[in-house]
Amino acid sequence: MPLAGSIAAILWAVVLAVLLLRAGLHPHRPTSLTTYLAGGEAWNELQPVYTNWRGFVYPPVVAWFFSLLNHLPLALDAILWRLLTAGVFLLGIESLLRSGIFHRIPSSSHGLIYLGLLPLSIGNLDNAQANPLIAGLMMLSVAAFQWEAWNLCALAIGIAITFKIYPVALALLLCLLRPRRLSWRILIWLLIPAIIPFAVQNPHYAAAQYHAWLQVRMGDNRFEYPMKDAPLDLWYLLVRVGRLPVSERAYTALQVICGAAIAALVLLQSRRRLPQRDILANLFLMVSAWMLLLGPATENQTYVVLAPAACLAAVQSLTCSSCRTRLFALSAVTLLLAAVGRNSLFPHIKSPVEMTIQPIAALLLLAAIVMELRITSEIDPGMTSVPTPGGPR
């Protein structure tokens, strides 16, 4: 194992051991798991799960899932949940690297990716956020697509969408490439979780919770959030801080147009018969940037979803990219690390300008991705798609 890989493995093992020990010794410490378990407890007791827009916001099936954890000791809940989120996160990046999608990154440099991901994800793991789980499932779905493991791909992206809505963008793009293989499978894995609450709880109560969940979600207008709670996205940069006269309708149109542009790019690359692995690499990087800059709700902690794309693009830029691309990609990672440092060392300093660090990082990463797209199309025109062997079938 290369030196960077050995160092990364040791550091990850040490950090996870410390996090699990802390979780077991201090299970009552307020974290996101506190909110999740509260939703599960309300589900068990047939109480309203959705009381306000800042409380439990996941679908009823997730409340049912956490209701199962309420039967276990709190310390065990804290350990098991972090093991699950960290395990899926690491499985996702390992699967993505093994799939050969990012083949321009030599195996000797894989350790650098894990080293970059550690500081960018440690806060989410410590706070028991669901974001690492979702990021891991998204990466696993893309890797499974390359392996042509359609059931695994649909299952992974289906679970991710069940937790949060924004991975549906990735699902739609994957369906563009293989609609007959994926569309019905993803639909099944979305229907099953939707039905489970009615099978495990009083149907009338389950229906009431679905109604309440939809009301809370539909009434959640992020454009009207107070400044301290505002999503850290392109709207934050343009309107909240930049004071540009962009209307809500115009911004929504921008979201749709940019999403459609990514879809058009994917279709164009597919029709030009670019290698499937390169299409998937571009797709993953672009949709990751779109979800954070133009997605439905981007919080400070959500940027762990961008961390894999940022680290992959940065390490890839070290091997075969132009100096300008390398500068943008490395600057994006540097700013994301700076945001982690601010959160850790100065958590109470949250001036509007300082909170722009993460969306600016996403913009720089998007610029690096766009520049790399041009280089990729110049290097690999007309090549056919070849699945990578060695993955699950």
- Are 93 and 136 a contacting pair, CB within 8 Å? yes
The reported pLDDT for the residue numbered 225 is 83
The reported pLDDT for the residue numbered 381 is 44
Written as one string, the DSSP assignment of 366-382 is: HHHHHHHHHHHHHHSTT
pLDDT tens, position by position, 333-360: 999 999 998 887 777 777 888 899 999 9
pTM for the whole structure: 0.93
The reported pLDDT for the residue numbered 224 is 83
The reported pLDDT for the residue numbered 51 is 82
The reported pLDDT for the residue numbered 33 is 96
Residue 259's alpha-carbon distances to 139, 154, 291, 305, in angstroms, are: 19, 21, 9, 17
Rounded Cα–Cα distance for residues 127 and 38 (Å)? 15
The reported pLDDT for the residue numbered 53 is 66
The reported pLDDT for the residue numbered 1 is 62
The reported pLDDT for the residue numbered 387 is 45
Q: Which long-range contacts (CB under 8 A, 24 or more apart) does 266-269 make?
A: 266/173, 266/176, 266/177, 267/176, 269/377
Identify the segments of the chain with pLDDT beneath 50: 375, 380-390, 393
**Encoding tokens for residue 370?**
């766009």
Per domain, the residue ranges of the chain are 3-379
Task: Find tokens 């797209």 and name the residue.
Answer: 373
The residues near 323 (Cβ < 8 Å, ≥ 6 apart) are: none
- Are 176 and 269 a contacting pair, CB within 8 Å? no
C-alpha R_g of the chain = 21
The reported pLDDT for the residue numbered 392 is 53
The reported pLDDT for the residue numbered 45 is 95
Q: What are the backbone angles phi and psi of residue 97, rounded to the nearest 5°?
A: -70, -40
